Amino acid sequence: MHSTRAVLGLCGALALTALTATSARPMHAGIDYARYLEEKADVEAELDEWLSKYEKDAERNGWIPPTEARSADEVVEDRKQRFFMSKQLVSKLQKEQPDAQFSVDSPFSLMTEEEFATYVRNSYLQGNKTSLQEFATYVRNSYLQGNKTSLRGGDSVWDEAPTSDNGVNESGESTDAYDGGNAGFDISSFMKNLDFQSFKKFFEDCLSKFKGGRRLQQGVDWSSHRCNAPIQNQGGCGSCWAFAAVGAAESAYCLGNGGQLTKFSEQQLTSCDRSSHGCSGGYPTYALRYIQQTGLCRGDQYPYTSGNGNAGQCNAGCQKTRIPIRQVARPSGESGLLSALQKQPVVVAVAAGNSVWKQYRGGVVSSCPNANLDHAVIAVGFDGSSVKIKNSWGTRWGEQGYIRLSRSGGGGTCGVYRDMTYPQIADEVVEDRKQRFFMSKQLVSKLQKEQPDAQFSVDSPFSLMTEDEFATYVRNSYLQGKMRSLRGGDSVWDEPLADDTAEDSVHDMEPPLEERRAQQNVDWSSHKCNAPIQNQGSCGSCWAFAAVGVTEFAYCTNKGGQLTKFSEQQLTSCDRSSHGCGGGFPRRALNYIGQTGICSQSEYPYTSGKGGDGQCNASCKKTPIAIRQVARPSGESGLLSALQTQPVIVTVSAGNSVWKQYRGGVVSSCPSAKLDHAVIAVGFDGSSVKIKNSWGARWGEQGYIRLSRAGGSGTCGVYRDMSYPQL
């Protein structure tokens, strides 16, 4: 027995010796192994810190390459040696480029230089090398013959169009020609009466309120502009070409769309653009032309899922936004890039699969060790010494996702001037906007003559909408009683009209109005129980804003004047008796609040401004609202009596020119009688009723409008359908 233990002990010792001998060896060529052994304790501590920060993302994205080691100990040893080699590299780079900062605090510090080069390689394709070499030759020949060719799956693609005389490549497919066909546009009057310079200045001054352009004579920096989306992360997929093309397209579209940023989908290009190779690389110019012809889905509708390296199946059914790209411009040299950057960000190709980009942490890079263009990024600015680049490797790389390259001649640092492109938004879009704006000027002039007690102006968020478009924007956000199918396949309900009395719920019965001595003036707009003006955005949720507004006021006064801002999003997403952004009925919303309670806005904030209802969050903490009944005043006297105690929901005819261009004063009439919008009456005086809207504080009188007191159904139908909660 003793001899057996001795043998086992000897075997264990030999195995441990063999393992130690195996682990204690250089595992990578080029390592200063003697120095590594001296610094091993420090390396272990620094590696542990690196792993605590990067390990999860690095393993998911393939930034920790698999080792050929045969045991867990060898894996650990391999990582230590890799990390030490990156430390060696950082020391070397720092001596060579003192104006830049390099660090092992990089997602790629467990990659060798060769592995990093392989990771980057081929995600950007120039169309004349690697797997696209034969394709490019064939496409070019086919293009000269006037034919199209095909790439993945046999779908149609386009090659680069010939360069025009001014050095700009025209796009393969032109956008539809603008026909000047805005109904009601008086072109002869436009040309006859146009003082172009004053009109141009007026147009730009007005537009600047909704678009914050930033232009510097000695430098430009789009990185903090509202039209620059946050830094993205392509992960383990060679989709830099898609991120660069989408980033440039969404910035250009935002700048041409009044400064409203829409985050578009890189996944759509990665999965659906048949002129490129998904996670195996692609060409930004082809991608921009795909965008021009096909349009782009929003990022929240088609989120990025290819970080694991799989391009995924194409979802062709997502709703696409047309991006009016007139042509894909190709600037040349440093001067061309700087000139283009005065207007917008630019896609550039760089040599990035090298030690400089691998360990970059900050400062200005002066050179790269190779000239092979292998990565597509976005130039977002410049100053006297550098060009600022937006990368797609996440915010923990570089300067929070950015890198600065020194300005130089020739092909530029890291080849940044060698291949550049950006989308130019169609000229007809600009012309269309000028004509739309002029039509609103015509409308303002007409309205001002008809209603001298009110003020109308093009200084309105809706001045680039036609009257029909504005009517469509407003239409159906307030629903009167009609048979409708409810969301989610629920049974239909028949909502009675305002003069109906038969209703199962006592909450919908009009109580007798109290006899009281009426004040001559009431204004709740400055009361502490009146919440600030809200903005429903592109969602037909006025019914929710109106119901929440009167509820929070009544609850506030009932609780001694302590205002709680309640959640419009809860109603928009959760009230199944209405249709979310497709419209709703305020009295049903009040019934929902009385039965369910309501969450605070801070706990359930509004997110439907872009038109999506959103998923219902039923778990938010609800405040019970003890609504005794929903009162329904009748006529002017009923409204004025109710306003003595609290604000009242009223419905109005708002989808018309008067509300579109209203700026101030008292409105005497509306051109239509269709009730299409729910708002809140917050006061009155001897001549008008004061209305609180939900279109933001830049509309009207800081979000309010005054309607003249009139008989019958009231100005803009304001007396036709009214309600308020009695607690």
- The CATH number given to whatever domain includes residue 305 is 3.90.70.10
| Judgement on whether residues 418 and 475 belong to the same structural domain of the protein | no
Q: For residues 389 and 237, what is the distance between their CA atoms, to the nearest angstrom? A: 20
For the chain, give the longest Cα–Cα distance. Answer: 115
Nearest to 121 by CA among 385, 354, 443: 354
| Judgement on whether residues 415 and 532 belong to the same structural domain of the protein | no
| Judgement on whether residues 357 and 294 belong to the same structural domain of the protein | yes
Question: Taking the mean position of all CA atoms in its chain, how far away is CA 630?
Answer: 39
Task: State in Å, rounded, how far the first CA of the chain is from the last one.
Answer: 90
Residue 511, in any domain of the structure? no
| Judgement on whether residues 194 and 91 belong to the same structural domain of the protein | no
Which positions ≥6 away from 165 have C-beta within 8 Å? none
| Judgement on whether residues 265 and 399 belong to the same structural domain of the protein | yes
Sign of the CA dihedral running 298, 302, 304, 310: negative
Please state the pTM of the whole predicted model: 0.53
Long-range contact set of residues 612-615: C-beta below 8 Å, sequence gap at least 24: 612/300, 612/539, 612/581, 613/487, 613/539, 613/572, 613/573, 613/580, 613/581, 613/582, 614/569, 614/572, 614/573, 615/573
Active site residues: 240, 375, 391
Residue 499, in any domain of the structure? no
* φ, ψ at 691 (rounded to 5°): -120, 135
* φ, ψ at 234 (rounded to 5°): -75, -15
Residue where a domain stops, chosen among 393, 425, 457: 425
Residue where a domain stops, chosen among 81, 96, 111: 96
| Judgement on whether residues 417 and 475 belong to the same structural domain of the protein | no
Structurally, how many domains does the chain consist of? 3
**pLDDT computed for residue 483 by the predictor:** 32
| Judgement on whether residues 555 and 655 belong to the same structural domain of the protein | yes
**pLDDT computed for residue 23 by the predictor:** 52
Residue 134, in any domain of the structure? no
| Judgement on whether residues 418 and 451 belong to the same structural domain of the protein | no
Q: Which domain holds residue 59?
A: 23-96
Q: For residues 378 and 401, what is the distance between their CA atoms, to the nearest angstrom? A: 11
| Judgement on whether residues 344 and 467 belong to the same structural domain of the protein | no
User: DSSP secondary-structure letter at 325?
Assistant: E
Residue where a domain stops, chosen among 70, 96, 122: 96
Residue 437, in any domain of the structure? no
**pLDDT computed for residue 179 by the predictor:** 32
**pLDDT computed for residue 218 by the predictor:** 80
- Cα-based distances in Å from 579 to 193, 260, 486, 495, 633: 46, 26, 7, 13, 25
Nearest to 82 by CA among 127, 128, 125, 46: 46
Residue 216 is which amino acid? L
**pLDDT computed for residue 14 by the predictor:** 39
3-state secondary structure of 436: helix
Which regions of the chain are under pLDDT 70? 1-23, 67-70, 122, 124-217, 428, 476, 478-518
Long-range contact set of residues 495-504: C-beta below 8 Å, sequence gap at least 24: 495/585, 495/588, 497/721, 498/632, 498/720, 498/721, 498/722
Q: For residues 606 and 333, what is the distance between their CA atoms, to the nearest angstrom? A: 46
| Judgement on whether residues 340 and 459 belong to the same structural domain of the protein | no
Environment class of 432 (CB within 10 Å of its CB; exposed 0-12, middle 13-18, buried 19+): middle
| Judgement on whether residues 459 and 567 belong to the same structural domain of the protein | yes
- Cα-based distances in Å from 509 to 513, 589, 630: 12, 15, 7
